[in-house]
Chain A
């Protein structure tokens, strides 16, 4: 109990959500075109970082951020350092490419085990690209610890347990969880801090640890395309079949036109 609190935060680099509608598919090669689309930290992962940092400020401890991704994901590790984490780790290896959520959760769990013991692993509840919300519970399964998703508020915390609220449709649930645990957070939990200028400058002096699968004892056959039970066999852009009749005129004309269309649709 004398040891300090160990908090881990999983962060992922994703395409900037403001540019999602610019993402298209090459109909022939079926590749996803994302040229010119900036990559940023998954928005909810900032909330996860913020919550971890607040707990550290309250109770002391250490916060480590981990990201699995291509070498460019170093950027989000830098961002995490600028926000104030003690250490940032980038898990990057060619064999990890194409991992589905199960393979991702397995690889992240091995990295977390390599770090030693932990009390809380914070995640965003979902990402903006895949937005599966599957990694946190799957990560918890590999770590053999409990998980809670959709956490909007931490009501109390001590070394042994957390009491939290999670959102559900038309309400919420209150839960008590024994630590260690995986906690996936929603946007409501906090307002993430903006890094100060000096913190941004300082983060460039800190080192980002880079790990490959061999550093953490990952079985290469359990990750990447080979280690993923799911396969993407086709991608396409959703087809929109709409009439697309556009009206421009005076307000009164527009109102008449709308009423006519409501009538045609059988509403009035």
Chain B
């Protein structure tokens, strides 16, 4: 009898031997889904000299880790990775396959889905199992202005790329038991038609915006060097990180990795404070999961005020220096 499609398989992404946070989140999310679907949670780990990572994946929720280790796989190689992953899915027949919506996941997943001739939804922000046992994937469209519930009713596996920061990883449990299966990998150089020659990573900032508890964001309304220096000072005072919108990125006041929104980072800090940001959907989709949203805008009709907990109608350029001054006074008094 042919094997049935069962269980959940995730893709584990590692860079230079470091597991990406989203891959641990996928395992956590998969565990929750597996309570409804049954079957085990497996993951696919690929790279070179990475076998030691398998135990960590088990500690974070994997029942089985399939490892593809080969000297040609030091960097992500799309052709080889597609082939090995597709073969593994054919053989293991997971009902659901989850991949992080990263630059690498978004390169790999569509190609694998096309090889398998199955459906794939992009940048999923929520996953649930419907009463019919089918995976419901909530996908943002039109810049996040519209949400769609997408299913893949007939073809298998059901595949989705999931935004980093959406699913929750489980607490690490070193005593969890799991199986490590080493795959027999053969790669010829000719197969690597699109070959990664090198990979350069600048060390991420000490506190990337997606990890900060408080994010101070600036927009076009305060788009000058002086204001952004004040944002930095404020962030330092509060122990947070600075982010911004597209137009301030275009003016080089922030880096690519500090842009918040649809084409940037999705963040979920305790507090988001936006200065001089209009609140276009493209940006707002990136902050919707914040616990508290505060915004300062000079225009009482700015759309951002529809999304705030606390909104201040006022001139951010005046408020910023005063806020810094007052906070400094307060924090100094606290220390005495």
Interface extent on A, as a size class? 35 or more
Known: A169-B103, A171-B199, A267-B271. Is A138-B311 also a contact (CB below 8 A)?
A: no
The CA-CA distance from A146 to B147 in the complex, in Å, is: 32
Q: Are B193 and A146 in contact (CB under 8 A)?
A: yes
Residue B163 is within 8 A (CB to CB) of chain A in the complex: no
Q: Are B110 and A238 in contact (CB under 8 A)?
A: no
- Closest-by-CB residue of A relative to B239 is A267
A16 to chain B, nearest CB (A): 11
Q: Are B111 and A137 in contact (CB under 8 A)?
A: yes
Residues of chain B within 8 A (CB-CB) of A140 are 111
7 closest cross-chain pairs (CB), A and B: A229-B119, A230-B119, A141-B114, A171-B201, A146-B193, A146-B194, A132-B122
Within 8 Å by CB of B330, from A15, A169, A268, lies A268
Residues of chain A within 8 A (CB-CB) of B76 are 173
Residue A233 is within 8 A (CB to CB) of chain B in the complex: yes
Task: Give the contact stretch, choosing among B29-37, B39-47, B169-177, B301-309.
Answer: B301-309
Q: Are B313 and A251 in contact (CB under 8 A)?
A: no
B2 to chain A, nearest CB (A): 19
Known: A102-B120, A247-B311. Is A131-B197 also a contact (CB below 8 A)?
A: no
Known: A32-B146, A230-B152, A251-B318. Is A101-B195 also a contact (CB below 8 A)?
A: no
The CA-CA distance from A237 to B213 in the complex, in Å, is: 27
Residues of chain A within 8 A (CB-CB) of B309 are 242-245, 261
Residues of chain A within 8 A (CB-CB) of B140 are 238
Residues of chain A within 8 A (CB-CB) of B201 are 168, 170-171
Residue B10 is within 8 A (CB to CB) of chain A in the complex: no
Interface extent on B, as a size class? 35 or more
Residue B102 is within 8 A (CB to CB) of chain A in the complex: yes
Residue B323 is within 8 A (CB to CB) of chain A in the complex: yes
Residues of chain B within 8 A (CB-CB) of A236 are 146-147, 149
Task: Give the contact stretch, choosing among B50-58, B225-233, B288-296.
Answer: B288-296
Q: Are B238 and A268 in contact (CB under 8 A)?
A: yes
Residue B148 is within 8 A (CB to CB) of chain A in the complex: yes
- Of the listed residues A130, A175, A228, A229, the one surrounded by the most CB atoms of chain B closer than 10 A to its CB is A229
Residue B131 is within 8 A (CB to CB) of chain A in the complex: no
Q: Are A231 and B114 in contact (CB under 8 A)?
A: no
B239 to chain A, nearest CB (A): 8
Quick one: CB contact mask for A177-210 with B, threshold 8 Å, 1 for yes?
A: 1100100000000000000000000000000000
Residues of chain A within 8 A (CB-CB) of B313 are 246-248
Q: Are B200 and A257 in contact (CB under 8 A)?
A: no
The CA-CA distance from A181 to B194 in the complex, in Å, is: 9
A57 to chain B, nearest CB (A): 25
B82 to chain A, nearest CB (A): 8
Task: Give the contact stretch, choosing among A3-11, A65-73, A147-155.
Answer: A147-155
Known: A137-B110, A137-B111. Is A17-B196 also a contact (CB below 8 A)?
A: no
The CA-CA distance from A246 to B146 in the complex, in Å, is: 26
A89 to chain B, nearest CB (A): 22
What are 28 A-B contacts defined by CB distance under 8 Å?
Answer: A21-B281, A23-B142, A24-B145, A102-B118, A129-B142, A131-B141, A133-B106, A134-B106, A134-B113, A134-B120, A145-B193, A146-B79, A146-B194, A147-B111, A149-B106, A168-B104, A168-B201, A173-B196, A173-B199, A178-B193, A229-B154, A230-B119, A233-B136, A255-B319, A255-B322, A258-B296, A262-B271, A267-B270
Main secondary structure of the interface of B (DSSP, over half): mixed
Residues of chain A within 8 A (CB-CB) of B214 are 267
Residues of chain A within 8 A (CB-CB) of B107 are 137, 147-150
Residue A35 is within 8 A (CB to CB) of chain B in the complex: no
- Closest-by-CB residue of B relative to A261 is B310
A69 to chain B, nearest CB (A): 16
Residues of chain B within 8 A (CB-CB) of A240 are 288, 306-307
Residue B151 is within 8 A (CB to CB) of chain A in the complex: yes
- Closest-by-CB residue of A relative to B144 is A238
Q: Are A174 and B119 in contact (CB under 8 A)?
A: no
Residues of chain B within 8 A (CB-CB) of A101 are 110, 120, 122
Residues of chain A within 8 A (CB-CB) of B326 are 255-256, 259
Q: Are A251 and B196 in contact (CB under 8 A)?
A: no
Known: A20-B143, A230-B150. Is A268-B327 also a contact (CB below 8 A)?
A: yes
A239 to chain B, nearest CB (A): 9
Residues of chain A within 8 A (CB-CB) of B119 are 100, 102, 228-230
Q: Are A230 and B151 in contact (CB under 8 A)?
A: yes
The CA-CA distance from A225 to B119 in the complex, in Å, is: 12
Quick one: CB contact mask for B167-210 with A, threshold 8 Å, 1 for yes?
A: 00000000000000000000000000111111111111000000
- Closest-by-CB residue of A relative to B324 is A255
Known: A168-B104, A229-B118. Is A174-B111 also a contact (CB below 8 A)?
A: no
Q: Are B312 and A257 in contact (CB under 8 A)?
A: yes
Within 8 Å by CB of A20, from B111, B153, B281, lies B281
The CA-CA distance from A15 to B203 in the complex, in Å, is: 37
